[in-house]
Chains A and B, each alone.
Chain A
Amino acid sequence: MATPFTFEIVTPDKMLFVSEEVTYVGFRTLLGGMGIKANHLPVIATLDVAPLKIQLADGSEEVFAVCGGFLEMQNNKCTVLATIAEPGAEIDAARAAAAKERAEARLASKNEDLDVERAKYALRRASMRLRISEALGKK
């Protein structure tokens, strides 16, 4: 059985998630996918807008929507710092779909004042949320 370690997700508003029974964390950095188990080397990873998956000691899994941020692993303590993050179960699929449409419309509008970066970022956030909620819905 895998060794458990401490894992927490911190957002500016609250501690989103704390558990000492996490055995695996899977996430995506700006370079690509990565996974962490107990006794990993100290690492600071810059996260991409992507789902973050954790496995708990009792075998269950949880998914979080993380919109960029950092992950720090040190002395078997893993901390995720994210400005926007939410548990997969709390995702509002309808809202995400609406946001996706809005972002796509903005990108297609070819408006000169358009903040392309921002619209793209919004689009990525929305489609990530949709992917997660679809995946959860299938189960």
Chain B
Amino acid sequence: MATPREINRHMKSVGNIGKITKAMKMVAAARLRRAQEKAAASRPYAIKIKEVLSNVVSDPSVLAGLDAKKHPLLQKREVKKVGYLVLCSDKGLAGAYSSNALKMAVAEISECEDEVVVITCGRKARDFFTRRGFNVIQSHIGFSDRPTYENAVEVAQDAIKTFANEGFDKLNIVYTIFKTALSQIPTSETILPVEPPAKEEGKVSASFMFEPGEDEALKVLAPKYLETVVYAALVQSAASELGSRMTAMSSATDNAAKLVSSLQLSYNKARQAGITRELNEIVGGVEALKQAQN
């Protein structure tokens, strides 16, 4: 049995850990709220740009008449190499967030029969894939829990360049959709070549005049659209990471409190046992003295 002193020391350290995890939980909660606001604020732009893109390509003749060489992003080619863009966290202590996203990515990759290259966002993903000997062609770090639009542009532009140089013929993105703080769903989507969103049914659009032409519009729109898709994924993943961290830290705090109370009990028991033993010794000693005197 541990001495009361040892138990006391253990109790203090667990209590301190509890304080730290509680602080981390509150930080994550505050930042989660901001991340959710950001996700909401980015929605109108994403919706609008999708609408404009579908307006541009709503006329089938527009797509058919396009010069394929001018719009490499929309061009479907024979798939020999598949790229995976995996979004993950930079830091740990976020529960199963990173490992869920990575598990999803690995499952996808193992099903893929073509050559695979990996682009990672987040330190955890980079470390994971380099350690396992995957072909990591690009890695972005430093913004997993607070992505800005510029980060999305950077990721998207790098991907576009590689796609144009035939670094891969198709790009899938693996990210985590934020449902609630308790549930985040890893998802995979194809983002390159760009699949123009289908027109909503029953919505008759006016025929647009293009200034300068639909060709130029599409040339600028396609990369912009990709940027918004990447940005949406980054924002979702950031919210998931923070949500997951919040939940993990909250349960860590609860566990610490539970551990402290069970340690308190064994401390009290050990202390009481010590007192009883000392009493016994004293009484025993007195008895022995009495007998010796008689």
Contacts and interface: CB of A to CB of B under 8 A. Distances in A.
Contacts of B38: 13
A30 B212 CA distance: 7
A69 to B, nearest CB: 8
A59 interface: no
Contacts of A12: 42, 45-46, 149, 152, 228, 231
A41 B209 contact: yes
B45 A44 contact: no
B45 A10 contact: yes
B19 to A, nearest CB: 35
* Prevailing SS type, chain B contact patch: helix
Contacts of A83: 149, 153, 224, 227
B56 to A, nearest CB: 7
Nearest to B44: A10
Interface in A56-85: 68-70, 72, 74-75, 79, 81, 83
A42 B212 CA distance: 14
Interface in B174-229: 205-212, 214, 216-217, 220-221, 224, 227-228
Interface string A22-35: 00000001110010
B216 A81 contact: no
Nearest to A84: B149
Given A12-B231, A30-B216, A83-B227, A43 B209 contact: yes
A13 B209 contact: no
Nearest to A80: B48
Interface residues of A, number: 25
A45 B52 contact: no
A42 B45 contact: no
A32 B137 CA distance: 40
B48 A44 contact: no
Contacts of A6: none
Contacts of B55: 44, 72
Interface in A1-22: 10-15
B49 interface: yes
Contact of B211 (A10, A43, A74): A43
B1 interface: no
A81 B212 contact: no
Contacts of B217: 44, 46, 70
Contacts of B45: 10-12, 81
A44 B45 CA distance: 16
Interface in B25-82: 38, 41-42, 44-46, 48-49, 51-52, 55-56
B207 A42 contact: yes
A46 B220 contact: yes
A70 B207 CA distance: 17
A46 B211 CA distance: 6
A76 to B, nearest CB: 12
Contact of A29 (B49, B153, B212, B224): B212
B294 to A, nearest CB: 94
A42 B153 CA distance: 29
21 contacts: A10-B44, A13-B41, A29-B211, A29-B212, A30-B216, A31-B211, A34-B211, A43-B211, A44-B52, A44-B214, A46-B216, A70-B52, A70-B220, A72-B48, A72-B52, A72-B208, A74-B208, A79-B48, A81-B224, A83-B153, A83-B224
Given A30-B216, A70-B224, 5 more contacts: A42-B205, A44-B208, A70-B221, A72-B55, A81-B224
Interface of B: 38, 41-42, 44-46, 48-49, 51-52, 55-56, 149, 152-153, 205-212, 214, 216-217, 220-221, 224, 227-228, 231
Interface of A: 10-15, 29-31, 34, 41-46, 68-70, 72, 74-75, 79, 81, 83
- 5 residue pairs, one from A and one from B, having the closest CB atoms: A42-B206, A45-B211, A12-B149, A31-B212, A43-B209
